Amino acid sequence: MINSTYGSQRLMELLPFQKMSGTSLLAVGLKSGCILDVVIMIQSLQMMCWWAHDPNGDEFKHHLARVPDYLWLAEDAMKMQSFGSQLATHAVIATGMVEEYGDCLKNAHFYIRVSQIKENPTGNYKGMYRHFTKGAWTFSDQDQGWVVSDCTAEALKFAFSTMSSLLAFPIYEQGFEDQRGYVVQMHISSVL
């Protein structure tokens, strides 16, 4: 099994296949500026792939520079960026403790507003079998550009929850514009 794997790898390194490897998803993602991936595990694997390709290459250095964007060491443990903020804010709103956690909800509301994807992927994203992303939310970081439908649904649910809380408690400086909500609903209905 291992020998056949190595044999197929050698076959893929032949001249006709080298052109195909230049258009791999890793290379396309790097050209579009999308260095971050959906989850940290895949991001780490991509970084190792670029290191195996060229340990001193720019691709590996770009990935290495983005590690602090999704992993950091806090005073109590190592932390990672993910979409848990939507779920935590749902819990606060469900308990009715909006006034007590007003600052927290205000920050979460700001985060949800700024983390919504504003544009579709660059280039021929449909030709790369990508779905449109405008109006949706990602699992972790807006830069990675891969949307997750349940993250989008939870963020929209949070936006609607905060709109009802906005009427009762004026803790939010800005509401959620109708146009942005419409784009989100279009995105969710397109993946159903």
Least confident of 76-80, 90-94, 130-134, 187-191: 187-191
Given a cut of 90, whether residue 56 has pLDDT beyond it is yes
Select from 64, 36, 41, 39 the least CA-distant residue to 142.
36
Q: Is 69 part of the annotated catalytic residue set? A: no
The one-letter amino acid at 146 = W
Residue 120 near residue 66, CB atoms below 8 Å: no
Q: Is the pTM of this model over 0.85?
A: no
Active-site residue (options: 69, 76, 141, 150) = 150
Q: How far is CA 125 from CA 51, 60, 86, 142, 156, in A?
A: 26, 24, 28, 16, 24
Instruction: Categorize the per-residue pLDDT at 55 as very low, low, confident or very high, splitting at 50, 70 and 90.
Output: very high
